[in-house]
């Protein structure tokens, strides 16, 4: 009888010249069950991936190839590390070939097609596949993911905010759901590897600013999930900021405790909720999580603060935006979809300093 | 008749081996009316300040000397760029010698002695002088500063938060003063030049975290000023964060607009309030101020955001924590106290990139 | 009789959307004799420069305009903050209108047209104007610049290396000119404000590398000047490196002292050579200059090292690549060309930290 | 028969509150054969290491204890991640208990006691043990290390320079050994986790400088090894610089090719020399290695440059100073000393970006 350990999963990657791409390659190259089979890039056809990303020298021998040449339909799973709009165009063909899909872009994050089209300014190509797809935040949606053929890997900001709020929603009313604030901060790698002036070293270094305050694409994604968990229309103020660091994300979430919940032991609530989650670390009450404590690891660390023991609860959540916020979570989804232990290939210790 | 331009002000600096010290030296060395007369450091007696801070080579010839040797009582004004607790010990003697004082530490920031002693764990040495001192946030307290003998230069965080909220307080009720949040972010120079592990490059770089959530000494300072402006007991949640950059501070302030104030033109309100303030720049509605836009300048830039035109008003405020948040503001106070145009020596353009 | 102080110089800038452009604007906005008259950008026609560079808000009211609309021929001097190849196309027309030119790109740096065309892959448009132009390294070429109509502002690397070596060349033989090494390091702003992957924050931050080892365009420029100073064919090895900082450049120059020069007092030689240069600071022997000691200032600091008092002399040279290495030096040239004191508008103290 | 894979090695760490300590812990926590048994710190007795280094939460349960309580004599190997002078004091006792030692400080790096005492200003406590110890640069000294009881783990700079030069020394004369230059650059973590002003974020960030030019402790270490390899008195100029990054080191090594060696294929020479070395990557000729390509990995990458095909050979060498330059190399030594495959626990892919 084959155990999980001997299973071979043929993996394809569409895109892969960006930061989620190289991070997928780094993780999968060290994954005991993954067999890197194909990676596509129309522009870089023929280039060894290790020539573009020298950290992979000696670990990955694969070269980019055009989609036409890449044997994607022969894979067991294909990751899309592309801009939005690509996965939905190839989903049908791949599903027909019995290939599972994990999209790291937004095509399968929003179940409401109208909301998708409003925010992404493009018609959805396969609403039927969207309808059967699963939202890939494992800790919140494990059952659906395990049997899904298509997974929409969550955005980086949503991962922190949803994991930070989940224990507070869906049970007895604990917080004022009409007025939740997430003041979120991300490292620059979240903007991707596109050549844009705003992401230049000399623009982003030694600088700090908010952005996307008037409207960020992760807002509807977060709200849709919060609404569903809370069973009501949640009021969310979400302000992302850009931090002069490569990796890392911290959300400072402000909620107001309802009068009837003032006596609740929120620390116990969080610890219980995540007791069996290998990738969620509820730190001691009053801790101050640092982004570097999860650098290059698939871990989210959460700490609670309640200044003056008042009715403001502050939830601090950190992750590596490229790992738990992107590529690591995608591999966690793969593990789940293929019946492997969820932590397979994802147990590396974070890099500090 | 002497004009402001020919006035000579003999300036002493106590302390001066830290970042507010070198910044004072940089600004004063280029100030047309300031005459750097003495700088004290017991530890560095005899060392040329330009040997410690090589940016001053060719501009400052002064050497550190012990307090005993330094002719502080012969100065017109003495800046204290020291830890808290130093200025209050020397205030009486200097005032007796007709010297004015500007304390960049906390000794004259909190009028309530009990609050001071609770947060700074030391008895106040001169409550009578504290009582006559002025809180040195020029834009809010110009008249008192102009005639003060002692000025308590504000903390860096308070400067951003108070200037960000002032137009909303003290008139007709506009916002819910029981529930104000400031999610603030500071560059590492705010921690000073003390040799501490937490401020090491390898600790602070490529990292982001909150700190002081359970209680930060700037909280009572902010609250005291807000209470006074609002004429009521203001509810403030204040969460500071550490940004991997040298200089710069951004406060993201969240307030709730009262139902009766939904029609107010907040942009006009801010523009009017600060129309004649040379160091407060109200940017166009919806702007996204960057900390580097004020690097090394005495300017605060403010922008308003109102997502979805709802009842959340977000005020974004940036400053250079070492300039408007410390040394620049101190010199602005000096200008005011000595009848000089407020902008004298403070009109430098910010350094970008 | 008008003194230098009341002279008005009408200044035009071609280009100006890059880092040398904004730095020119910062310096010129604070220059007592400069009158910013026109700034061109075909792409940004109509945009206020302060909307692109918010540090200029309140200091510069000028807007970009197309070259057609900009009154460049009515200026006294035009700076070209453009890629190479632009200034040489407009030089003839401007000279005809009695406008002086300072090119911050490479069109007037190399007197040998063949060398220019080999390295810049474009034919030189005006060899006659090139022939009359002056190489704008003031400390080495003051007389020619003072009377020039066209100045080729030096490259950033050449400025450090030429100032570091000048005192050793042209007199009695002191060093082995056949074997000079400059191991140079630059901040990322040296690559400009172009959107290129290699200059992204996530590529350049927390990273260090050499580049252009096989051939860098500043190599022939440095060599041409060294050859001329030395009166011989100098052997130069030049290896530039990229430092994860915004501004700043350091060249570590290795030369071998000739046996007959072992007794020379090199420190005295350098101090004498630069005694009257306001922008060259020869630090005490054995000093370790830091790039931040000249941040945002027009100063070059030089220090000599001679390990074990042997025959290796090491010259350490730092500058701000955007100031003495570009915009500041250009304004220094302008001052000289218009008979102003050379330091006019250039005396700001460096920003530290 | 036990295979390497099932072997258990009881590991102790003396010190461990610094960066080499936490890096040892990170690597050993993921090492299949290492059993973390004791970690000492007099100051932090009782503190869980994961409370000091939160990246270890969930991976390391060990707490610091005083040397008295820590069962070091029951270990198979003890790493000293201490300042110099500690290991040599405990070596005798541990050897008597049949414990092997790997010192990450300098006590066993210099065979010449007089040189050691000159540079480290302390008498050597155990010259006899020093005499039997092995210099732990595996690629150069594999046989001696394999049978050593005590290993002096090399300094970070020496590792890059020795691996960069080894293929050129010891055979037919290829380079002028009287005149070798290494212009080396290190990230700030190389200075350790000591609270010192020079290592503060606000001192080291956005800054670049040389240091230790007049004499650095790694100089005699490098020279001793070079002398031995070359069989002659090597002339070495070594200039270290400080780069504003956390991890990473690059040495730019300049050597002069002897006339008789101008036809040598240096690329082939290096490739052959390191063909079977799992941790030395000879990149294609003319490559430009980046420090981030080895971040958190035990790899050294080397590239050759020969500008203009002349007689200057430039060797570029990068490593992570905390891994191959410290903790990783120490574990590589441990593997070798205990008969494990050298790569055990050291095969992680570098983190990029």
pLDDT digits (tens, 9 = 90+) for A178-236: 999 999 999 999 999 999 999 999 999 999 999 999 989 999 999 999 999 999 999 99
CB contact under 8 A, A199 and C197: no
Domain co-membership, A122 together with A267: no
Is D345 a domain residue? no
Return the pLDDT at C272.
Answer: 98
Return the pLDDT at C6.
Answer: 85
In the predicted structure, residue B2 carries a pLDDT above the cut 80: no
Domain co-membership, D165 together with D145: no
Domain co-membership, B195 together with B290: yes
Helix (H, G, I), strand (E, B) or coil at A290: strand
Return the pLDDT at C67.
Answer: 86
Q: Which of C24, C60, C104, C156 does the annotation list as catalytic?
A: C156
Return the pLDDT at C2.
Answer: 37
Size of interface A-C (CB pairs under 8 A): 62
Return the pLDDT at D2.
Answer: 37
Number of domains in chain B: 2
Q: Which of B78, B156, B317, B318 does the annotation list as catalytic?
A: B156
Domain co-membership, D36 together with D63: yes
Domain co-membership, C187 together with C50: no
Q: Does D246 touch chain C (CB under 8 A)?
A: yes
CA A313 to chain centre: 25
- Which residues on neighbouring strands pair with residue B180, listed in sequence order? B236
Angstroms from D352 CA to nearest CA on chain A: 6
Return the pLDDT at C68.
Answer: 87
In the predicted structure, residue C3 carries a pLDDT above the cut 60: no
Q: Does D284 touch chain A (CB under 8 A)?
A: no
Is A346 a domain residue? no
Confidence band of D71 (pLDDT split at 50, 70, 90): confident
Q: Residue C65: CA atoms inside 13 Å, Cβ hemisphere, count?
A: 13
Looking at residues B69-73, what average pLDDT do you find?
91
Q: Please give the backbone phi and psi of residue B97, each rounded to the nearest 5 degrees, phi first.
A: -90, 10
Closest CA to D292 of B328, B123, A19: A19
CB contact under 8 A, C215 and D307: yes
- Tokens read off for D149: 């009881």
Question: Do C321 and C249 contact (CB within 8 A), yes or no?
Answer: yes
Burial track B254-287 (b if 16+ CB lie within 10 A, e otherwise): bbbbeeebeebebbebbbebbeebbbbbbbeeeb
Question: Do C192 and C84 contact (CB within 8 A), yes or no?
Answer: no
- Nearest by CB to residue B207, choosing from A213, A248, A314, is A248
Q: Which residues in B lie closer than 8 A to residue C29 (C-beta atoms)?
A: 349
Confidence band of D67 (pLDDT split at 50, 70, 90): confident
Counting as low any pLDDT under 70, the low residues of chain A are 1-5
> Catalytic annotation on B75?
no
Question: Do B353 and A203 contact (CB within 8 A), yes or no?
Answer: yes
Question: Do A130 and A113 contact (CB within 8 A), yes or no?
Answer: yes
Q: Does C186 touch chain B (CB under 8 A)?
A: no
Closest CA to B72 of B127, B15, B126: B15
Q: Does A189 touch chain C (CB under 8 A)?
A: yes
Domain co-membership, D146 together with D256: no
Looking at residues B16-26, what average pLDDT do you find?
96
Looking at residues C59-80, what average pLDDT do you find?
94
Domain co-membership, B138 together with B252: no
CB contact under 8 A, A290 and B243: no
pLDDT digits (tens, 9 = 90+) for C99-140: 999 999 999 999 999 999 999 999 999 999 999 999 999 999
Confidence band of B67 (pLDDT split at 50, 70, 90): confident
Domain co-membership, D71 together with D93: yes
Find, in chain A, the residue whose alpha carbon is nearest to that of D202.
Answer: A206
Q: Please give the backbone phi and psi of residue C54, each rounded to the nearest 5 degrees, phi first.
A: -65, -15
Find the domain containing D270 and state its range: 158-322
- Strands C300-305 and C312-319, sheet pairing: antiparallel
Closest CA to A283 of A296, A270, A265: A270
Return the pLDDT at B71.
Answer: 87
In the predicted structure, residue B4 carries a pLDDT above the cut 70: no
Q: Does D53 touch chain B (CB under 8 A)?
A: no
Chains contacting A (3 or more CB pairs within 8 Å): B, C, D
CB contact under 8 A, D281 and A58: yes
Q: Does A54 touch chain C (CB under 8 A)?
A: no
- Nearest by CB to residue B57, choosing from C206, C246, C281, is C281
Return the pLDDT at D353.
Answer: 97
pLDDT digits (tens, 9 = 90+) for B162-212: 999 999 999 999 999 999 999 999 999 999 999 999 999 999 999 999 999
Return the pLDDT at C1.
Answer: 34
Is C201 a domain residue? yes
Is C167 a domain residue? yes
- Nearest by CB to residue D205, choosing from B193, B197, B201, is B201
Helix (H, G, I), strand (E, B) or coil at B81: strand
Looking at residues C279-288, what average pLDDT do you find?
98
Q: How far apart are the first and last CA of chain A?
A: 43
Is B353 a domain residue? no
Find, in chain B, the residue whose alpha carbon is nearest to that of A246.
Answer: B206
- Strands D180-187 and D209-210, sheet pairing: unpaired
Mean pLDDT of chain B: 96
In the predicted structure, residue B126 carries a pLDDT above the cut 70: yes
CB contact under 8 A, A54 and D290: yes
Catalytic machinery residues of D = 156
CB atoms under 10 Å from CB of A16, counted, come to 25
Helices C156-165 and C218-230, interaxial angle, to 10°? Answer: 20
CB contact under 8 A, D53 and A352: yes
Q: Helix-strand-coil percent breakdown of chain D, rounded to 5?
A: 35, 20, 40
Q: Which residues in A lie closer than 8 A to residue B206 (C-beta atoms)?
A: 187, 245-248, 292, 295
Q: A210: which residues sit within 8 A by CB, 6+ positions away?
A: A239, A240, A241, A242, B250, B252, B288, B316
CB contact under 8 A, B205 and D19: no
Distance CA D115, CA A20 (A): 50
Distance CA C198, CA C188 (A): 10
Q: Which residues in B lie closer than 8 A to residue D197 (C-beta atoms)?
A: 193, 195
Confidence band of B1 (pLDDT split at 50, 70, 90): very low
- Tokens read off for C224: 């041409």
In degrees, rounded to 5, the angle at the alpha carbon of residue A327 between the alpha carbons of residues A324 and A332 is 70
Residue B104's domain is classified under what CATH number?
Answer: 3.40.50.720
Domain co-membership, D16 together with D75: yes
Domain co-membership, A58 together with A164: no
Residue D125 per-residue DSSP state: S
Closest CA to B57 of C352, D333, A320: C352
Looking at residues B78-104, what average pLDDT do you find?
97
- Tokens read off for D264: 């040598």
Domain co-membership, D330 together with D288: no
Tell me which H or E stretch contains A135.
strand A134-135
Return the pLDDT at D196.
Answer: 96
Find, in chain D, the residue whose alpha carbon is nearest to that of A56.
Answer: D349
Q: Does B114 touch chain D (CB under 8 A)?
A: no
Q: Does A324 touch chain D (CB under 8 A)?
A: no
Q: What are the start-end ranges of the E strands in chain C?
A: 9-15, 34-40, 77-81, 100-103, 134-135, 150-152, 180-187, 209-210, 236-243, 249-256, 280-282, 300-305, 312-319
- Tokens read off for B63: 């050497």
Mean pLDDT of chain C: 96
Percent of chain B with pLDDT over 90: 96
Residue C180's domain is classified under what CATH number?
Answer: 3.30.360.10
Return the pLDDT at B342.
Answer: 97
CB contact under 8 A, A210 and B288: yes
Concatenated DSSP letters of B194-257: ---GGGBHHHHTT--EE--TT--THHHHHHHHHHHHHTS---EEEEEEEESSSS-EEEEEEEEB
Angstroms from C170 CA to nearest CA on chain B: 28
Q: How far apart are the first and last CA of chain C?
A: 43
CB contact under 8 A, D245 and B205: yes
ipTM for the complex?
0.97
In the predicted structure, residue D145 carries a pLDDT above the cut 60: yes
Residue A137 per-residue DSSP state: -
- Nearest by CB to residue A213, choosing from B214, B243, B307, is B307
pLDDT digits (tens, 9 = 90+) for C197-225: 999 999 999 999 999 999 999 999 999 99
CB contact under 8 A, D57 and A22: no
Is A190 a domain residue? yes
Concatenated DSSP letters of B140-160: HHHHHHHT-SEEEPPPHHHHH
Q: Does A170 touch chain B (CB under 8 A)?
A: no
Q: Which residues in B lie closer than 8 A to residue A288 (C-beta atoms)?
A: 209-211, 213
Looking at residues C74-86, what average pLDDT do you find?
96
Is D26 a domain residue? yes
State the alpha helices, DSSP H only, in chain C: 19-29, 49-52, 87-96, 113-120, 127-132, 138-146, 156-165, 201-204, 218-230, 266-273, 328-337
pLDDT digits (tens, 9 = 90+) for B265-314: 999 999 999 999 999 999 999 999 999 999 999 999 999 999 999 999 99
Chains contacting B (3 or more CB pairs within 8 Å): A, C, D
Q: Which of A156, A224, A243, A315 does the annotation list as catalytic?
A: A156
Return the pLDDT at B6.
Answer: 85
- Strands C236-243 and C209-210, sheet pairing: antiparallel
Q: Which residues in D lie closer than 8 A to residue A22 (C-beta atoms)?
A: 352-353
Question: Do A79 and A12 contact (CB within 8 A), yes or no?
Answer: yes
Angstroms from B278 CA to nearest CA on chain C: 9
Size of interface B-D (CB pairs under 8 A): 62
Q: Which residues in D lie closer than 8 A to residue A206 (C-beta atoms)?
A: 205-206
Confidence band of B115 (pLDDT split at 50, 70, 90): very high
Return the pLDDT at D3.
Answer: 45
Looking at residues B72-79, what average pLDDT do you find?
97
CB contact under 8 A, C206 and A246: yes
Q: Counting Cβ atoms within 10 Å, is residue D231 exposed (0-12), middle (13-18) or buried (19+)? A: exposed
Question: Do B327 and B307 contact (CB within 8 A), yes or no?
Answer: no
In the predicted structure, residue C299 carries a pLDDT above the cut 90: yes
Q: Counting Cβ atoms within 10 Å, is residue C198 exposed (0-12), middle (13-18) or buried (19+)? A: middle
Domain co-membership, D101 together with D191: no
Is A343 a domain residue? no
- Nearest by CB to residue A246, choosing from D30, D206, D353, is D353
Return the pLDDT at C304.
Answer: 98
Angstroms from D94 CA to nearest CA on chain A: 30
In the predicted structure, residue B134 carries a pLDDT above the cut 50: yes
């Amino acid at each position: 009888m084959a155990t999980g350990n001997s299973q071979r999963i043929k993996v394809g990657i569409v895109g892969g010249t960006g930061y989620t791409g190289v991070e997928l390659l780094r993780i999968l190259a060290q994954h005991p069950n993954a067999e890197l089979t194909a990676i596509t890039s129309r522009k870089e056809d023929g280039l060894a991936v290790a020539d573009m990303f020298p950290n992979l020298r000696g670990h990955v021998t694969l070269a980019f190839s055009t989609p036409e040449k890449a044997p994607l339909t022969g894979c067991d799973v294909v990751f899309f590390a592309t801009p939005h709009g690509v996965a939905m165009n190839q989903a049908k063909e791949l599903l027909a070939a019995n290939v599972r899909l994990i999209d790291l872009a937004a095509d399968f994050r929003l179940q409401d097609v109208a909301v998708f089209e409003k925010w992404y300014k493009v018609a959805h190509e396969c609403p039927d596949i969207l309808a059967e797809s699963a939202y890939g935040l494992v800790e919140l949606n494990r059952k659906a993911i395990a049997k899904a053929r298509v997974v929409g890997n969550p955005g980086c900001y949503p991962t922190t905010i949803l994991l930070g709020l989940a224990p507070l929603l869906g049970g007895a009313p604990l917080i004022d759901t009409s007025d939740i604030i997430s003041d979120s901060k991300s490292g620059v790698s979240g903007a991707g590897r596109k050549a844009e002036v705003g992401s230049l070293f000399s623009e982003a270094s030694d600088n700090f600013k908010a952005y996307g305050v008037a409207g960020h694409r992760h807002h509807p994604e977060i709200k849709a999930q919060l609404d569903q968990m809370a069973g009501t229309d949640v009021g969310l103020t979400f302000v992302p900021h850009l931090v002069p660091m490569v990796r890392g994300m911290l959300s400072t979430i402000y909620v107001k405790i309802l009068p009837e919940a003032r006596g609740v032991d929120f620390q116990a609530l969080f610890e219980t909720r995540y007791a069996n989650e290998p990738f969620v670390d509820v730190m001691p009450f009053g801790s101050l999580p640092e982004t570097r404590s999860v650098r290059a690891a698939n871990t989210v660390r959460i700490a609670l603060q309640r200044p003056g023991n008042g009715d403001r609860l502050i939830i601090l959540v950190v992750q590596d935006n490229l790992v738990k916020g992107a590529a690591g979570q995608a591999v966690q989804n793969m593990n789940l979809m293929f019946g492997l232990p969820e932590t397979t290939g994802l147990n590396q210790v974070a890099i500090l300093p």
